[in-house]
Structure 1
């Protein structure tokens, strides 16, 4: 068992937000990657799309999730599934920070996981 603590003092910028990626974590053998994401009040992420599947879990605050040009309220406790290829961004029009956890995966990550898993079993 291992617990990793969020290091708020060393969040890294990416896609217009601050975050801490799940990887690298040598002890973790998972078919996905993830990141804790923080959008400051008045901020927003960079609109983007990608080939991976993605899930966002809203942890604190409220925001607007814009997917393919359509606005959706996104508040703490919500979970959203984003299909590959959709253009999305998170907009925080509030004063307090908005925090969410993003998880993404694709077939290459799944194949690599299976290969590592088989090697560990051997």
Structure 2
């Protein structure tokens, strides 16, 4: 077992929010990538779309998800699935930071995972 602690002082900017990526993590062989994300009070993330499947798990606070132009509430305890190709962004129009964990994957990540798994199993 190995536990990693979130490095709040070392968050980096991506898509208009602060985040810490899950990888690289040499001990972890996973078929996905992820990041702890912090959207500061009053901020909006960069709208984007991609070929990956993605889920967001709301950890603290509340915000709105804007998906293909539609706004829906998103708060701590919620989880959302974002299908490939949808344009999405997070809107934090509150006075508190909003934190969520994003996980994404595609078929190439799955195939690479299986190859690494088979190699380690030998």
Equivalent-residue separation in structure 1 for 2:119 and 2:76 (angstroms)? 39
Matched with 2:77 is 77
Root-mean-square deviation (CA), in Å?
Answer: 0.3
What secondary structure is seen at the aligned counterpart in 2 of 1:4? coil
Alignment of 1:79-118 (within 5 A): 79-118=79-118
What secondary structure is seen at the aligned counterpart in 2 of 1:81? strand
- Runs of 4+ in structure 1 deviating by more than 6 angstroms, as ranges, are none
Q: Could you tell me how far 1:22 is from its partner in structure 2?
A: 0.1
TM normalised by structure 2 equals 1.00
Equivalent-residue separation in structure 2 for 1:75 and 1:64 (angstroms)? 8
Q: Could you tell me how far 1:117 is from its partner in structure 2?
A: 0.3
Q: Could you tell me how far 1:21 is from its partner in structure 2?
A: 0.2
Matched with 1:30 is 30
- Structure 2 runs not aligned, ≥5 long: none
Q: Could you tell me how far 1:56 is from its partner in structure 2?
A: 0.1
Q: Could you tell me how far 1:44 is from its partner in structure 2?
A: 1.1
Equivalent-residue separation in structure 2 for 1:96 and 1:10 (angstroms)? 20
Matched with 2:121 is 121
TM normalised by structure 1 equals 1.00
